[in-house]
């Protein structure tokens, strides 16, 4: 049986970043991933990074291409009832946001891990975790056709919403909170010029629309759609027509159309599992929580969990300190619930919820108030750019010295 210090289940952004950060602390990891590397690196997902996420990626040694290729935005636009209002993130919250695709982060992390010679096992099937209530957890799996077993000090469950780690916890040890929204997002990627320099969110009577981007020549656009819709129902032409109807005229006339290179429908969900630590099993990222993408928080939350987790494990190995491990779940969850609230609020304000006239009037009033009140815009901006991380005493010293 092979022994290592930390077995990480999942090679998404959480798993690879944790492996990268622990490696820099001299802590040995083995990463087990169900999918092939090429599949993981091709998944189209997030693309908007908080400053804290960018800082941590740079600190982890994977920020070089990001800094070269990213777009930096000082604000974004919100359109409602014929009015377009710009939220000045930099002016109101003193921070910017960064556009850089999750696919690129995944590649940067994958390259860094392979260059460091790390033990990363793609296409590992039947992963099962055992004995995480004690001091010697084990992980069994099949890799390259052979059953294998690892013994470790800790298991990091970075295996996303459908992973095996959270599912292995006894039902009475975990409490879950969930809201499923009655619509989805139809998203496309196309290699065309964005309608605007910054993101444009639109709340239109036909439904929500978002014009985002991955670079100055690649757009990521979304429209709210019924949950029952299938991708095949949406030709490219139908998508472009619908997007144009939902955008304000000044943006609609600037739409550059082209063939979609990716098209998918994603359901929207809010989900939190508490706690995030079960003995020697620690969950991070989508394994513990999901947010609707309206507030662009999913990837950023995954990164902040990993920051807290690497600190807790670092302190354990440096000083045998148990307290950061005990505090891990609480530190993460304080930030997670605030991001859940913000993502729920953004979703609530920007989508159409058919059949609820009172809710529609509340939404209208909320958006009018937002456009008129600098205080309300400041609150939005503060949450959008990302709430600050809680630093442990030790890392605060490190940051102060830097």
Ligand X SMILES: Cc1cc2nc3c(=O)[nH]c(=O)nc-3n(C[C@H](O)[C@H](O)[C@H](O)COP(=O)(O)OP(=O)(O)OC[C@H]3O[C@@H](n4cnc5c(N)ncnc54)[C@H](O)[C@@H]3O)c2cc1C
> Active-site residue numbers?
73, 201, 293, 297, 384
Question: In whole angstroms, how close is the CB of 207 to ligand X at the nearest point?
Answer: 18
Q: Does 343 bind ligand X (CB under 6 A)?
A: no
Measuring CA to CA, which residue among 170, 221, 228, 167 is closest to residue 199?
A: 221
Give the β-pairing of 29-32 and 119-121. Answer: parallel
Q: Does 163 bind ligand X (CB under 6 A)?
A: yes
E strand segments, 303-346: none
CA distance linking residue 102 with residue 166, whole number of Å: 23
The encoded tokens of residue 171 equal: 């039902």
Q: Give whichever of 14 and 118 is closer to ligand X, judged by the CB atom.
A: 14
Contacting residue, 36, 249, 266, 375, with ligand X by CB under 6 A: 266
Size of the site for ligand X (CB under 6 A): 35
Q: Choose one: 44-52, 56-64, 311-319, 325-333; the region binding ligand X (CB under 6 A).
A: 44-52
Question: In whole angstroms, how close is the CB of 158 to ligand X at the nearest point?
Answer: 5
Q: Does 292 bind ligand X (CB under 6 A)?
A: no
Q: Give whichever of 212 and 392 is closer to ligand X, judged by the CB atom.
A: 212
Question: In whole angstroms, how close is the CB of 287 to ligand X at the nearest point?
Answer: 6
Q: Give whichever of 48 and 223 is closer to ligand X, judged by the CB atom.
A: 48
The single residue listed with the structure tokens 């099993």 is 281
Q: Does 285 bind ligand X (CB under 6 A)?
A: yes
The secondary structure element, H or E, covering residue 401 is helix 393-401
Site residues for ligand X, 185-204, by CB under 6 A, read: none
**What is the layout of strands, in order, in the sheet containing 146-151?**
2-3, 146-151, 138-143, 125-130
Site residues for ligand X, 102-161, by CB under 6 A, read: 102, 124, 127, 158-160
Query: Which residues have C-beta within 8 Å of that of residue 76, sequence separation ≥ 6?
Result: 86, 87, 89, 198, 199, 200, 201, 384
Question: In whole angstroms, how close is the CB of 257 to ligand X at the nearest point?
Answer: 22
Burial class (CB in 10 A: 0-12, 13-18, 19+), 390: middle
Q: Cα–Cα distances in Å, from 63 out to 56, 178, 184, 256? A: 8, 34, 32, 31
DSSP for 110-153, please give it. Answer: HHHHHHTT-EEE-S-EEEEEE-TTSSS-EEEEEETTEEEEEE-S
Contacting residue, 302, 309, 325, 389, with ligand X by CB under 6 A: 302
My answer on whether omega of the bond before 275 falls inside 30° of 0, hence cis, is yes
Query: Which residues have C-beta within 8 Å of that of residue 46, sequence separation ≥ 6?
Result: 101, 102, 293, 296, 298, 299
Question: In whole angstroms, how close is the CB of 51 to ligand X at the nearest point?
Answer: 14
Q: Does 34 bind ligand X (CB under 6 A)?
A: yes
Q: Does 99 bind ligand X (CB under 6 A)?
A: no
Q: Choose one: 5-13, 146-154, 191-199, 366-374; the region binding ligand X (CB under 6 A).
A: 5-13
Q: Give whichever of 274 and 394 is closer to ligand X, judged by the CB atom.
A: 274
Q: Give whichever of 98 and 363 is closer to ligand X, judged by the CB atom.
A: 98
Q: Give whichever of 36 and 359 is closer to ligand X, judged by the CB atom.
A: 36
Contacting residue, 56, 164, 272, 313, with ligand X by CB under 6 A: 164
User: What is the longest distance spanned by two Cα atoms in the chain?
Assistant: 65
Contacting residue, 6, 8, 15, 324, with ligand X by CB under 6 A: 15
Query: Interface with ligand X by CB under 6 A: which residues?
Result: 9-15, 32-35, 40, 45-48, 102, 124, 127, 158-160, 162-164, 266, 285-286, 293, 296-300, 302
């Amino acid at each position: 049986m092979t022994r290592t210090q930390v077995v990480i289940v999942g090679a998404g952004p959480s798993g690879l970043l944790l492996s990268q950060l622990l490696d820099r602390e001299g802590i040995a990891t083995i990463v087990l991933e169900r999918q092939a590397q090429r599949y993981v690196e091709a998944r189209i997902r997030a693309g908007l990074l908080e400053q804290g996420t960018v800082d941590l990626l740079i600190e982890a040694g994977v920020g070089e291409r990001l800094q070269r290729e990213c777009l930096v935005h000082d604000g974004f636009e919100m359109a409602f009832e014929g009015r377009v209002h710009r939220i000045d993130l930099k002016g109101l919250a003193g921070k910017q946001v960064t556009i850089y695709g999750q696919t690129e982060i995944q590649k940067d992390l994958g390259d860094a891990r392979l260059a460091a010679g790390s033990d990363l096992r793609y296409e590992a099937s039947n992963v099962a975790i055992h004995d995480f209530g004690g001091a010697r957890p084990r992980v069994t799996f099949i890799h390259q056709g052979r059953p294998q077993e690892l013994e470790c000090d800790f298991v990091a469950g970075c295996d996303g919403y459908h992973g095996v780690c959270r599912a292995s916890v006894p039902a009475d040890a975990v409490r879950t909170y969930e809201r499923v929204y009655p619509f989805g997002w139809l998203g496309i990627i196309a290699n065309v010029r964005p309608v605007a320099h910054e993101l444009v969110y639109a709340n239109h009577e036909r439904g929500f629309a978002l014009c985002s981007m991955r670079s100055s020549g690649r757009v990521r656009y979304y429209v709210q759609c019924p949950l029952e819709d299938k991708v095949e129902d949406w030709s490219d032409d139908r998508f472009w027509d619908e997007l144009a109807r939902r955008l304000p005229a000044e943006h609609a006339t600037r739409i550059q159309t082209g063939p979609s290179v990716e098209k998918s429908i994603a359901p929207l969900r809010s989900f939190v599992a508490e706690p995030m630590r079960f003995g020697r099993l620690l969950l991070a990222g989508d394994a513990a929580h999901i947010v609707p993408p309206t507030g662009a928080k999913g990837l950023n939350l995954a990164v902040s969990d990993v920051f807290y987790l690497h600190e807790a494990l670092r302190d354990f190995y440096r000083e045998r300190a148990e307290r950061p491990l005990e505090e891990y779940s609480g530190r993460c969850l304080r930030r997670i619930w605030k991001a859940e609230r913000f993502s729920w609020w953004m979703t609530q304000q920007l989508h159409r919820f058919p059949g609820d006239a009172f809710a529609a009037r509340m939404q209208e009033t909320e958006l009018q108030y937002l456009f008129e009140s600098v205080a309300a815009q400041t609150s939005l901006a503060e949450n959008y750019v990302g709430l600050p991380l809680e630093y442990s005493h030790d890392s605060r010293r490190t940051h102060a010295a830097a």
